[in-house]
Amino acid sequence: MLWTVQDAPSGLITCEATPTIKPNVPDYFNTELGQFVGPTQTGDAPWLAQTNMAPFAGVSYIPNTPLETQIPIQNNPSNRNIFQRLANLSPYFPNPNGFGADEYPIPVNSNVTWLNMVHRHGSRYPEFSGRAPERTLGKKIMDAKGKFNAYGSLSFLNDWKFGLGAEILVPIGKQELFNSGTLHYYQYGHLFPNNGTKIVARTTTQKRMLESAEYFMAGFFGLGWVQNATLELIIEWTRFNNTMAGYKGCNRSSWDIGVQASTKWKNVYLQDAHTRFKSNITGDLDWTLEDTYNAQGLCAYETVALGFSHWCSLFTYEEWEGFEYSLDIGFTAGAGFHSPIGRAVGVGYVQEVLARMQHHTITSPAAQINITLDNNTATFPIDQTLNFDFSHDSNIISILTAFGLKQFSKYLPTTHIVPREFILSHLEPFAGRLDIEVIKAPAPVNPDRRNGDRIYLDGPPTSYVHFILNQRTIPLGKSLEECGSRDDGWCEMETFLKVQEKQVELADFEYACFGDYDVGFYGDVTDGRPAGSD
């Protein structure tokens, strides 16, 4: 088996894959190969009774389910849930507000005939890669043990220890994917042919990605899912073509821009919290504002890993809103419409979706598409009615950008919070998922479904594309004018395909990922591609 690798920008090279463990099983279908899994450090086992103060004073006892999310938060009179304000670190929950479209049932005599799902992995431990801020803070505190004293609300810190693993799924992350698989079976089980054939589902070689796919499949099919589906593992490594980790095949990055912009906002919203922290620590522990910020990250990770975290109650509700906004800024600049590579990172996956919709393989090199796999119907089936892929948060943000969903393109100032639709906890919490349906109707469906008496208008059978992100409809006409203003947010399929041809061109993959240009500053880019692009 040969894996296709991008040797940017000159073209494609190949490298020979490691021999398989299972005889006669290609590497990409071998789930036991164990290559390119990334860090797999396991953390401490949870023991909620050891650390949890519940029942909290003044709060009726509510059993954890399984996470403790009833922690009293300052300045939160409406008792709103901070665990739904943790941006991309939020445990999964359906989008509570929607994206501006009404939700309608499939009309009688119509049906969903095809599905393309791209799913983020479940809740995990913090990363080793990049800046690893939560791990850095944990090490800093552990190295200073015995040299400082903490008081008041921070007194727990005197006995606290860092007990988090790295990168792999935590137990709630496994449950999130199993639950999602079960939900998807209830929604789309009719699309499985159940005729003895297997579908091909795709994930990457990272351990959390493989396990996310396996838990999803177990939820959808049951524990015997291997009789119904084959998992295809695509290498996730630098310069390997993989549309589910499209940034690996791109030579440019704008995450530094995102970090700089986010830091400006941190210096605004965290000043009071930082003062509180500093006043409760004495001795040899140089507590910085960045430490105060990373403590919010520890709240998120300890909660999903251990079930409870003392860090969560140290911040006001407004400060939790500020935390989410900081990550919204970082992601829109690092992977969305305010990134010069926002479209480019996601465009390969968009091209794969369009190829599946039109039932053809991909035969020519394009973006970060693995031609070795996508030019073979054994690894890129073209007639499946169920298509399951597993990816990462930033990659899915770039996929939304590459589709041209401009309702998520609003500029987010670094001086104050503004109303916005780019809210990461609504877009890509842990286990977030984008479901793209094709709906076949016997006649055109009335776009005025709110007030229209007739569901069907006169005309021929018509197919529609329906985007559902975290169980809420994205109104395609809000971003893609050609789709029109429909109450249900659908778009006629022929129109959608035509519009997407233009969106693919706008990504300008080669220039965005390998061109010679100045990435500029946050705010210079507004359309997910280099500023000044034609």
Give the DSSP per-residue string, 226-280. GGTEEEEEE--STTB--GGGGGGG-S---HHHHHHHHHHHHHHHTHHHHHHHHHT
Number of H helices and number of E strands within the chain?
15, 12
**Are the C-beta atoms of residues 298 and 134 closer than 8 Å to each other?**
yes
**What's CA 496's distance to the chain center, in Å?**
23
User: Residue 391 forms beta bridges with which residues?
Assistant: 120
Closest C-alpha to 315, from 301, 300, 331, 330 = 300
What pLDDT, on the 0 to 100 scale, is given for residue 297?
97
What pLDDT, on the 0 to 100 scale, is given for residue 12?
34
What pLDDT, on the 0 to 100 scale, is given for residue 25?
77
- Which tens digit of pLDDT belongs to each residue from 467-526? 999 999 999 999 999 999 999 999 999 999 999 999 999 999 999 999 999 999 999 999
- Which tens digit of pLDDT belongs to each residue from 232-248? 999 999 889 999 999 99
Please state, in angstroms and rounded to a whole number, the distance separating the CA atoms of residues 303 and 46. Answer: 10
Say whether pLDDT at 82 is over 60: yes
> Which two three-digit tokens encode residue 385?
């009615």
What pLDDT, on the 0 to 100 scale, is given for residue 2?
35
Cα within 13 Å of Cα(72), Cβ side = 13
What pLDDT, on the 0 to 100 scale, is given for residue 480?
98
What pLDDT band is residue 70 in, cutting at 50, 70 and 90?
confident
Closest C-alpha to 168, from 1, 41, 335, 340 = 41
What pLDDT, on the 0 to 100 scale, is given for residue 20?
39
Q: Which residue has the tokens 């091909």?
A: 200
Q: To the nearest whole percent, how much of the chain has pLDDT over 70?
A: 92
Closest C-alpha to 12, from 313, 366, 361, 330 = 366
- Which tens digit of pLDDT belongs to each residue from 111-154? 999 999 999 999 999 998 778 899 999 999 999 999 999 999 99
**What's CA 292's distance to the chain center, in Å?**
25
Backbone torsions φ then ψ of 111, nearest 5 degrees: -160, 150
Buried b (16+ CB within 10 A) or exposed e, 356-381: bbeeebbeeebbbbbbbbbbeeebbb
Closest C-alpha to 221, from 243, 258, 194 = 194
Residue 229 or residue 28, greater confidence: 229
In the three-class reduction of DSSP (H, G, I as helix; E, B as strand; rest coil), residue 217 is classed as helix
State the average pLDDT for the chain: 91
Would you give the DSSP letter of residue 493?
H
Bridge-based pairing state of the strands 462-469 and 433-441: antiparallel
In the three-class reduction of DSSP (H, G, I as helix; E, B as strand; rest coil), residue 467 is classed as strand
**Are the C-beta atoms of residues 324 and 265 closer than 8 Å to each other?**
no
Please state, in angstroms and rounded to a whole number, the distance separating the CA atoms of residues 471 and 513. Answer: 32
What pLDDT, on the 0 to 100 scale, is given for residue 44?
72
What pLDDT, on the 0 to 100 scale, is given for residue 174?
98
- Which tens digit of pLDDT belongs to each residue from 359-400? 999 999 999 999 999 999 999 999 999 999 999 999 999 999
Please state, in angstroms and rounded to a whole number, the distance separating the CA atoms of residues 492 and 357. Answer: 13
What pLDDT band is residue 534 in, cutting at 50, 70 and 90?
low
Please state, in angstroms and rounded to a whole number, the distance separating the CA atoms of residues 15 and 225. Answer: 32
Q: To the nearest whole percent, how much of the chain has pLDDT over 90?
A: 81
Say whether pLDDT at 533 is over 60: yes
Q: Kindly report the number of other CB atoms within 10 A of residue 167's CB atom.
A: 19
**Are the C-beta atoms of residues 272 and 284 closer than 8 Å to each other?**
no
- Which tens digit of pLDDT belongs to each residue from 433-446? 999 999 999 999 99
**Are the C-beta atoms of residues 375 and 355 closer than 8 Å to each other?**
no
In the three-class reduction of DSSP (H, G, I as helix; E, B as strand; rest coil), residue 400 is classed as helix
Would you give the DSSP letter of residue 407?
G
Q: What is the pTM of this model?
A: 0.90
**Are the C-beta atoms of residues 320 and 507 closer than 8 Å to each other?**
no
What pLDDT band is residue 10 in, cutting at 50, 70 and 90?
very low
Residue 90 or residue 7, greater confidence: 90
**Are the C-beta atoms of residues 267 and 33 closer than 8 Å to each other?**
no
Closest C-alpha to 379, from 364, 367, 389 = 389
Say whether pLDDT at 227 is over 60: yes
Q: What torsion, rounded to 10 degrees, do the Cα atoms 96, 98, 104, 106 define?
A: -90
Closest C-alpha to 121, from 30, 192, 64, 37 = 37
**What's CA 15's distance to the chain center, in Å?**
29
